[in-house]
Amino acid sequence: MSAWKAKRFWKQAVAEACDGGFTVKLDGRAVKTPARRALVLPSVAMAQAIAAEWDAQQGLVKPDTMPVTRAANSALDKVSEQFAEVADLLAAYGASDLLCYRATGPAELIARQAAAWDPLLDWSATALNAPLLSTEGVVHIAQPEASIARLSALVHGFTPFQLAAVHDLIAISGSLVLALAVTRGRISVEQAWDLSRIDETWQNELWGVDDDAAVLESLKRQALIEAARFFVLCG
């Protein structure tokens, strides 16, 4: 395996308008995606954020410090090429949403979930016109077909760039409803994180925090925040 790693060769990264949107140029050379596609972005704010990530690189390029660049690459190289498949995959979360499956005990945890999650299910029913049923335990329950169709239509209505962000919002939280609530400003991304981690918080309160698990949780939380930021940058 080659040990070669990309090094900074440019003096300045600049966001510029281009045909179809905006792009980023390094000393006048347009940035391309890993698949060699033109980096055509939907907003000047996203282009400026990506330019700032490139300008922040010193020595070896570190992709893990460039979340906006990585998300844009994913939108262009992956989501755009497989939009229907990705949208179908994410829409399927509506049939088994985290908020619909409740603890069977103890009573305090049941009450905590109800207080936190019921308002979001009510919001889904009224604001999204997609009522969902909840149940105790993990045995799958069928959701109203009209609700699943409505949620699917909402997911398919995103742009490829938005869907790249929504992918992480859903995959990390485990909830399509929470993801849609973030994209529509119903809740903040920090609230979405807390709402998605009620069971984990309960366990931590009972048994204490595992250091390794805490590190992983911190990384997931940051990724969720970055996904919400990318959605806003879509314009």
Give the tens place of pLDDT for each residue, 12-49: 999 999 999 999 999 999 999 999 999 999 999 999 99
CB-CB contact of 95 with 183 (8 Å): no
Question: What global pTM score does this model have?
Answer: 0.95
DSSP 38: B
* Enclosing H/E stretch for 72: helix 67-74
Domain 83-233 has CATH 3.40.440.10: no
Domain 13-63 has CATH 3.30.2180.10: yes
Q: For residue 3, what pLDDT is reported? A: 46
Average pLDDT score over the chain: 96
Residues 108-126, mean pLDDT to the nearest whole number: 98
Domain ranges across the chain? 13-63, 83-233
Rounded distance between C-alpha atoms, residue 157 and residue 38, angstroms: 24
Rounded distance between C-alpha atoms, residue 8 and residue 124, angstroms: 47
CB-CB contact of 71 with 164 (8 Å): yes
Residues 112-126, mean pLDDT to the nearest whole number: 98
Residues 204-232, mean pLDDT to the nearest whole number: 95
Residues 129-133, mean pLDDT to the nearest whole number: 98
Q: For the chain, what percentages of helix, strand and coil (3-state, to nearest 5) are there? A: 60, 10, 30
Q: CA end-to-end span of the chain, whole Å? A: 40
pLDDT at 4 over 50: no
CB-CB contact of 39 with 72 (8 Å): yes
Greater confidence (178 vs 7) lies with 178
pLDDT at 101 over 90: yes
- Model confidence at 82, pLDDT cuts 50, 70, 90, reads very high
